[in-house]
Amino acid sequence: MVQRTLAILKPDCVRKNLIGKVIKKFEDENFKIIAMKLVKLNSKTAGEFYAVHKDKPFYYDLLSFMSSGPCVPIVLEKENAIEEFRKVIGATDPAKADDGTIRKLYADSKEQNIVHGSDAPETANYEIQYFFSMKELVENDDKN
Ligand code: ATP
Ligand code: MG
């Protein structure tokens, strides 16, 4: 089933000038870009986005990191996109991520881990709608 997932190039990715390299990986893995923008979160919007983690000990650090600079939300489409994208990004902790994954290649720590990926269809829907309106989701199939 063709699915959509939400990726975010996190503030560390933007700061390290890795936007192009990371998007290249998405393209190499045949994800289609459906929508993309540059945004700067603040603690309120980062908190809304990561509300599922509000009881975690790292929550406030996470909000401060996610609002520390611009980031790039991107909607990606592919067969089984949610699971496939999690494989491409690798484990949350780069030290535990498989070789060749984006986090293994570029991430510095469990917090500053370069990229976000939705973890389930319900969260993907919420996260896509959080950043993009229907009008911003662009058909991007090979017939165009
Ligand atoms: P993401 O949701 O960003 O794709 P993930 O699904 O791999 O990451 P989650 O458990 O959802 O991991 O955690 C969300 C984010 O919170 C992580 O990507 C990371 O930036 C931060 N985080 C998670 N665990 C820790 C931790 N123990 N210490 C510090 N930061 C953490
Ligand atoms: Mg997550």
Structural class in CATH, domain 2-135: alpha beta
Residues 6+ apart with CB under 8 A from 28: none
Q: For position 78, what pLDDT does the model report?
A: 98
Range 71-84 average pLDDT: 98
If you take atom 17 of ligand 1, which residue's CA is the nearest one?
Answer: 111
Which residues, 6+ apart, have CB-to-CB distance to 127 below 8 Å? 6, 49, 118
Ligand 2 centroid to Cα of residue 50, in Å, is 8
pTM for the whole thing? 0.96
Catalytic residue among 88, 116, 118, 127: 116
Cα four-point dihedral sign 64, 67, 69, 73? positive
Cα-trace Rg, the chain: 14
Q: What is the pLDDT of residues 16-43, one digit of tens each?
A: 999 999 999 999 999 999 999 999 999 9
- Ligand found nearest the CA of 56: 1
Active site residue 53: no
Distance from residue 141's CA to the centre of ligand 1 (Å): 32
pLDDT greater than 70 at residue 14: yes
Q: What is the model's pLDDT at position 98?
A: 98
CA 112–ligand 1 middle distance (angstroms):
9
End-to-end distance of the chain based on CA atoms, in angstroms? 20
